[in-house]
Structure 1
Amino acid sequence: MKLSVIIVNYNMCASLKQALSTLVRACKFIDSEIVVIDDASTDRSLQMLESDFPEVEVIRNDKNIGIAASRNVGIEKATGEYVLMVSPDIITGKKTLESIIEFMDSHPEAGAAGVRMLTPRGDFLKQSRTGFVRPWGTLLKLTGLAKYFTKSRLYKYELDAWDDEDDFATTEVDVVNGSFMMLRKSALQETGLLDERFTSYGHDIDISFRMRLAGYKNYYYPRTYILNFSNSLNPKISWKHIRDFYGAMIIFATKYLFKVPEIKIPGIPQVFAPTYEVER
Structure 2
Amino acid sequence: MKTAVVILNWNTKDYLRKFLPGLIASTEGLDAEVIVADSASTDGSLEALSREFPEIRQIPLDRNYGFTGGYNRALAQVEADYFVLINSDVEVTPDWLKPLVSWMDSHPKCGACGPKLLSWRERDKFEYAGAAGGLLDRYGYPFCRGRAMQTVEKDEGQYDSPADVFWISGACLMVRSRLWKRLGGLDDRFFAHMEEIDLCWRIQLAGYKVTVIPESAVYHIGGGTLPNESPVKLKLNFRNNLLLLENNLAKTFRAQGYSVEGALGKARRRILVRMLLDGASACTYLVTKKRASYKAVVKAHFEYWKLRRKPSPDEVASQQKEVTIHGWYPGWMVPRALSGRKIKFT
Give TM-score, length-normalised by structure 1. 0.81
Distance 1:118 1:275 in 2: 20
Q: Which residue of structure 2 lines up, in the alignment, with residue 128 of structure 1? A: 131
Q: Secondary structure at the match of 2:185?
A: coil
Matched, 1:175 2:167: yes
1:109-166 residue CA offsets vs partner (Å, 9 max, x unmatched): 110001111112211236232326xxxx4xx43x4x68xx9x97999xxxxxxx9654
Secondary structure of 1:58's aligned partner:
strand
1:23-102 to structure 2, matched below 5 A, reads 23-102=23-102
Q: Indicate if the aligned counterparts of 1:26 and 1:94 stay in contact, CA closer than 8 A.
A: yes
Contact 2:6 2:34 in 1 (8 A): yes
Deviation readout 1:20-64 (Å, 9 max, x if unpaired): 212111111112222211111111211111111112121222221
| Correspondence for 2:117 | 117
What is the Cα deviation at residue 167 of structure 1?
1.5
- Give the aligned partner of residue 198 of structure 1: 190
d(CA) in 2 for partners of 1:166, 1:54: 41
Would the alpha carbon gap of residues 233 and 10 (structure 1) be closer, same or farther in structure 2, given more than 3 Å must change?
A: closer
Give the equivalent residue in structure 2 for 1:160: none
Unaligned runs of 5+ in 1: 156-162
Shift of the 275–7 alpha-carbon distance from structure 1 to 2, 3 Å rule, reads: closer
Secondary structure of 2:210 counterpart:
strand
Structure 1 residue aligned with 2:6: 6
Amino acid corresponding to residue 270 of structure 1 in structure 2 = E
**CA-CA distance at 1:258 after TM superposition:** 5.0
Deviations 1:230-255 (A, max 9, x none): 15874122232122222211211232
2:322 aligned to 258, 270, 274, which one?
270
Between 185-194 and 50-59, report the one with greater CA deviation: 185-194
Identity of aligned residues (%): 26
Amino acid at match of 2:228: K
Among 220, 223, 235, which residue is 2:215 paired with? 223
Residue identity matched to 1:83: F
Q: For residues 96 and 52 of structure 1, what CA distance do their matches in structure 2 show? A: 24
Shift of 1:217: 0.6
Which structure: larger Rg? 2
Structure 1's 274 and 177: CA in aligned 2 closer, same or farther, altered over 3 A?
closer
Q: Which has the higher contact order (CA 8 A, sep 6+)?
A: 1
CA RMSD in angstroms, aligned pairs only: 2.9
Question: When the two structures are superposed, what TM-score results if normalisation uses the length of structure 2?
Answer: 0.66
Deviation at 1:270, TM superposition (A): 2.7
Deviation string, structure 1 residues 253-278 (Cα, Å, up to 9, x no partner):
232345555559xxx963544799xx
Tell me the distance in 2 between the aligned counterparts of 1:172 and 1:109. Answer: 11
| SS of match in other structure, 2:88 | coil
Change (3 A) 1:216 1:263: farther
Q: Is 1:235 aligned to residue 237 of structure 2? A: no
**Cα deviations across residues 154-203 of structure 1 (Å, max 9, x unaligned)?**
99xxxxxxx96541111111111110001111222332211111111111
In structure 2, relative to structure 1, the CA distance for the partners of 1:275 and 1:72 (3 Å cut) is closer
Secondary structure in 2 matching 1:167: coil
Matched, 1:214 2:209: no
